[in-house]
A and B are shown apart, each in its own frame.
Chain A
Amino acid sequence: MGKNTTFTGRRWRGGLLAAAVLTVAGCSGGGTVSGETAKAPADPADASGTIKVLTHRTDLVQNGTMARYAEEFNKVYPEVKVKFEALTDYEGEVKIRMNTDDYGDVLMIPAAVAKNDYPKFFAPLGTAAELGGTYRFSDKTEVGGKVYGIAQFGTANGFVYNKAVWKKAGVTAWPTTPREFLADLKVVKAKTDALPYYTNFKDGWPLTAWSNSIGSVTCDAKANDKLAGAVSPWREGSELNVIDSLLYDVVKGGLSEKDPNTTNWEASKGMIAQGKVATMQLGSWAITQMRDAAEKAGADPDDIGFMPFPVQKDGKYCAVLASDYQQAVNAHSSHKAAARAWIDWFTQKSGYSAKEGAVPALKSAPMPGTLKDFVDNDVSFQERSEVKTGEVNAIDNAAEIGLNKPDYRQKLIDLARGAQHGSLDDFFADLDKRWNEAARTAGS
């Protein structure tokens, strides 16, 4: 028996040694990056090779829409073959793949990558001065004067609502204050069978849309940058205080669904289209999807409307434009020119953003039809400044709050409907405390 144990003991140590060796080997993955700019070829015939495009739009890859874009692209660049790889859990999978060199030639920059790490993963696309004139949102991926990503498109933020339901309740004008918004929802509840507001609590991510309204309250494109530091973001009268108080009051007033833990995003599209739900806070990208849902359900797509966040500054509404995923070129790609050609073509010529009803990344392109109400009503568009996004995200992660994660708003909703105990003021005070502490440590 004694001998036996020493034998296994030796093997165990051998196993550990092997594990340690492999551990060290595993850590040294990832080759060096040249930092050479991915330039589009001057002559389309010069670009060649097979490029792989990673995308989160599984729906568009499955129904062949992306393949049709690639066909169009091939008319200009005949030598480039474009392959798509659609990932259902895009963020989770790409993040892990980025530990290797093989993460496609073109990809959407995952939110998990810290801004300062961009040069280690992506090829620069040009200087800020070069790209800033052509594209919106290019400062989001600017590191050291170079830009690493081009937005697919952007979205304006606001509330998707069913016009017919609101009209039935007798409300035709957009609310101008949070209080008015709440009063309107109450009327909707009283006069129609519709649920005034749907949180999409279970799926979670729709709750993060509320954060995209940062800047709408004070009409300040730099509002998000101002969060960098120990600034108590939830203090009285601040952007986040107004935004999150509104959500709290909506839920507290019993104006949202009874059992939020069983909500369903896919079903919610049909519900708002058929007038079972009156309002949802979302980006303008959602309008086309809701209208599609309305068509499928036999309802009138024109009933789907979009209203700005209910706050006015000097008698005018503000809508913040935030960028969607940014497309980047893998620094390890061997077909950088072809990859860049695809990004430029897809952003400028494909008609993708217009079809999605989104705000084009190309500055010269017009606003989409889905935002016609905003343009007609003179809503002022604020292109969100992203200069300090890296710092803000670092603080946000260090504080484990998650402005762009559902968790803290889920807790807010639980507080509002009494499923958890505590007051809103205490909750905000705690968030402020965590944010400020994290700002002091993460800033260093």
Chain B
Amino acid sequence: MTETTHTAPAKVPRAAASPGTAPAPDGSRRGGRVLRRLTPWLFLAVPLALLVTFTYVPVGNMIYYSFTDWDGVSPDRHFTGVDNYEQIFTRPELFRVFFVSFYYLAASAVQIVIALYFATVLSFDLRFRNLFKGILFFPYLINGVAIGFVFLYFFQDGGTLDSVLSWFGAGSDHAWLGDPESANTSLAGVSVWRFTGLNFVLFLGAIQSIPAELYEAAQLDGASRWQQFRHIIAPSIRPVLSLSVILAVSGSLSVFEIPYIMTGGATGTTTFVIQTVKLAFQFNKTGLASAAAVVLLLIILLITWIQRRLVPDEKVDLV
């Protein structure tokens, strides 16, 4: 595609210089060509500068730090080669925190199912359907820090959850964030509450792009709602579904703000990112933490790549 747009204008000056027409002065012709070459870059200059400054320079710096023993403040840093990476791969306790990600992975499965269910139901004609869409999407709009604080009160001993349960006579004496298992489950629950809205909107958008005639035809053929979902909706939203799964996996590996704000990683809720942050900002091991961040980046890239291999992006052709 780029090829055509590139070659087409290049031909114009050659045509203009064809025999018969007076040759344009050499200088202005070259100047015009340079300017024409430059034009797309001029348009790109600002976004590229922003991209380089805020994405590639920090990443470049991070990769550079990962080969040093920098403590994050000192003006001196020493090049230590792959020592940091060696540490990460030889200290099993640094990897053990990935087990916590399984809670979030399980939660994202639940989240996708819930989002899919609501997206399907709300894509049909239903009373108050826009209101429900708003309600479902709302949690995603709230700042993660605020959510952390809200749910801290929610899970508190005698807090909202306990009092709601007691209305139904199920008053429990359970410390929700008290032991690793229930703490992680609770935190994963919060993340479901927060991110279902995003999945929901993605699915809804995909479902609404399905031509309405298909449903009509299916209904005429006597297909039930489930059959419609199974044979029309599910196949046509496959790309969005697989995107959601990729986001879910990479999201589960890099969970940060909810557990960081709510428990600070205490009681076995430390995730890989929390651990990295603690290495960098508590123990002043910026070099090691950068290496950990690079490793996480590579793991996520690898998993995404594998996933794309297993589930290739097929073109959906319904009609």
Contacts and interface: CB of A to CB of B under 8 A. Distances in A.
B73 A402 contact: no
Contacts, number: 126
Interface string B64-95: 10000001111110000000000000000000
A132 interface: no
Nearest to B278: A407
A22 interface: yes
Contacts of A204: 264, 266
Interface stretch (A45-53, A154-162, A255-263, A280-288): A255-263
A261 B175 contact: yes
A16 B283 contact: no
Contact of B283 (A23, A402, A420): A402
Interface string A326-360: 00000000000000000000000000000000000
B50 to A, nearest CB: 12
Nearest to A201: B266
Nearest to B263: A261
B74 A117 contact: yes
A397 B175 contact: no
Contacts of A30: 75
Contacts of B284: 112, 114, 397
Contact of A22 (B60, B178, B278): B60
Contact of A19 (B59, B155, B177): B59
A7 B2 contact: yes
Contacts of B56: 15-16, 18-19
Interface residues of A, number: 48
A23 B60 CA distance: 7
Nearest to B59: A19
B2 A4 contact: yes
A202 B263 contact: yes
Interface in A100-129: 110, 112-114, 117, 120-121
Nearest to A257: B157
A95 interface: yes
B145 to A, nearest CB: 12
Given A3-B3, A18-B52, A23-B60, A410 B73 contact: no
Nearest to A91: B281
Nearest to B77: A27
B165 interface: no
B258 to A, nearest CB: 13
Contact of A419 (B53, B179, B265): B179
A195 B109 CA distance: 41
A117 B284 CA distance: 13
Contacts of B57: 19, 22-23, 26
B301 to A, nearest CB: 15
A260 B176 CA distance: 10
A206 to B, nearest CB: 13
A19 B56 CA distance: 6
A112 B73 contact: yes
Interface string A8-24: 00000001101110110
B285 interface: yes
Interface string A22-40: 1100110010000000000
A202 B263 CA distance: 6
B172 to A, nearest CB: 12
Given A261-B175, A262-B177, A414-B268, A397 B278 contact: no
Interface in B264-315: 264-268, 278-279, 281-285
Contacts of B48: 15
A26 B70 CA distance: 14
A205 to B, nearest CB: 10
Contacts of A18: 52, 56
Given A15-B56, A18-B56, A92-B281, A414 B175 contact: no
A91 B285 CA distance: 15
A295 interface: no
Given A16-B56, A26-B61, A262 B155 contact: yes
Interface residues of B, number: 45
Interface in B169-196: 175-180, 183
B179 A95 contact: no
A374 B89 CA distance: 52
B1 interface: yes
Contacts of A91: 281
B177 A261 contact: yes
Contacts of B159: 262
A25 B52 CA distance: 14
A406 B264 CA distance: 10
A83 B247 CA distance: 46
A414 B3 CA distance: 63
Interface string A249-288: 0000000011111100000000000000000000000000
B175 A259 contact: yes
Nearest to A3: B3
A19 B52 contact: yes
A202 B153 CA distance: 12
Nearest to B175: A259
B75 A15 contact: no
B266 A258 contact: no
Contact of A117 (B61, B73, B281): B73
A259 B176 contact: yes
A134 interface: no
- Select the residue from A19, A92, A411, A418 with max chain B CB neighbours within 10 A: A19
Contacts of A19: 52, 56-57, 59-60
Contacts of B155: 262
B198 interface: no
B82 to A, nearest CB: 17
Contact of A114 (B1, B2, B51, B71): B71
Contacts of A201: 266
B292 to A, nearest CB: 12
| Shortest Cβ-Cβ A-B pairs, 7 listed | A259-B175, A261-B177, A19-B56, A19-B60, A262-B156, A410-B266, A419-B179
Given A15-B51, A22-B53, A419-B179, 12 more contacts: A15-B56, A19-B56, A19-B60, A95-B281, A258-B178, A260-B178, A405-B283, A406-B264, A407-B266, A414-B267, A414-B268, A420-B268
30 contacts: A7-B2, A15-B48, A19-B52, A19-B56, A19-B57, A19-B59, A22-B53, A22-B57, A23-B60, A23-B64, A27-B64, A95-B73, A95-B281, A110-B73, A112-B281, A201-B266, A202-B266, A204-B266, A258-B157, A262-B156, A397-B284, A400-B283, A400-B285, A402-B283, A407-B266, A407-B278, A407-B282, A410-B267, A414-B267, A419-B179
